[in-house]
Structure 1
Amino acid sequence: MQLVERRLLDQAIDHLVEVAMLGLQGLKLGLDGLGVRRIRRRQVIHAGRTRPGRLATSLPAVYPGARPKGSAQKPPSKSQATVSDFLPHPFWNFSLELYAGEGVAEACLDLQERRGCDVNILLFCCWLGASGRPTMTAERLRAILTASDAWQSDVVKPLREMRRRLKDKVWPGALPETVDAVRRRVADAELAAEHAEQLKLASLHSPPADRERSLEKRLRATVGNLGVYAVCLGVVPDEADRKSVAALMRAAFPAFAPVEIAEAVGLAA
């Protein structure tokens, strides 16, 4: 499954996208197979009426390995078994779609390395706002971070570090194909851990979405959530931070012109 350009792997940007590629490439599923869509303005036909300007935010809960309704049940292959055990959730589908957007992987890596951001929290902030949910308070986000930090530090990070060591270190006497096979198994576990973290985040805070919320308000709520995250980290956003946030917003809200995104995130014209 090709979620991002090959150059990202060549540059060793090996967070969520590389893990997803390792875990899903055998399934040969594109984003259409996942049932996810980029957030965009569209016309929604409802009860005989056409309403322009709505968001495609009701992402179907389709996940890798799920079968269409009415299709025959087939025993999953070994490569599918791990992935198809994942629980479906719109947040996960949204994350895969957004992270595949132009410049998003680089922006997340930049914020992770310079500011210590958890990529899943960045994606969570984006999903909440883009799906029509209100901006979180700093108190609420701090409680969420407290509840999720242990899983990130004790489970996700050690798996990521192990996968990187298997990839980057030379292992004398070990057959390359066996090292690669082990790395793929670790990548499967890392992907499962990332998914589990997202399910935990959604269970901790998922207020009802306002489907009538305007696109402009969704953008403001998303930027607001990321601002609250900066407050929780004790970070005063600089121009580099705002540029990375702008890359996220351009991918999440392609209906807006770049100048509108720049204004929303506080970048100078």
Structure 2
Amino acid sequence: MTETLFYRLPWQSSSVYPGAHPGQMIGAGQLFKRHEPLIASPDPRRIDLRASILDPFSSYRVRVYQQQSSVNVYLLADMSASMGYADKQQTLLRFLLTAANSASDYGDKFGFIGCTERIEHRWLLPAGQHLGRVSALAKQLERLSFSGSANGLQNAAAFLPAERSLVFLLSDCHFPLPQLRAVLGSLQAHDVIPLVLWNQHEYAALPNWGLISFQDMENNATRTLFMRPALRQKIIAAYQQRQHDLKNTFRAFGSEPLFITEGYSTQTINRHLQQRVA
């Protein structure tokens, strides 16, 4: 059974379609927004007698309410070679299905943008309510061998709608910080939730002694090192510094990242989603 993401918006959706989130539109709802003249909102059922009596122009005043609206939810996925390491690809697939089903439960539209060296149309799914197409896409991705870089991330904003959307950015961020800044800069019109996938075997499970061969999965370059305690600690410290730098980069663009290092957990992501609107 697919679990549910309980995402909430700290902003108001501009969508005209009813949904589950705070909206900018006036319509059916329970949250009072303001008074308007009866002629502007001709619904006699909502005449406020007290406000009408106090009106200096002796006109009828009507209570109008904030409409709950829908939102477009997108998964912007890094599909580079490094995302094929260990369980990262399976985590991407699980989150894809979880996010799509959750958006459907909320009455929202869900879309997907998969990024490799460039953005290919076969990895594009415009926002809509189409769980069947999402399931078919997941099966295609499951058979795919991730390769190359994630340079396509820098062009992803062109495939997002003009109105503000909720964008989950799923990546291991194993690319230069200037490239990440360019990606985040292009996404500033949207609400971005970064989910950073790391696997502890990349750095924490290294032995204290022995020969270890490291391979860059994106350019296939290899390097053999003689591991020793001091070098092992240096590598771990480099990852810790990288995490610190990534956090500062995301925060500079108004986003708080979640580092997923111990396998996929919907509960962990939900706690992060609750904290961002607390």
Q: Which has the larger radius of gyration?
A: 2
More strand per residue: 2
Fold conserved between structures, TM > 0.5: no
TM-score by length of 1: 0.25
More helix per residue: 1
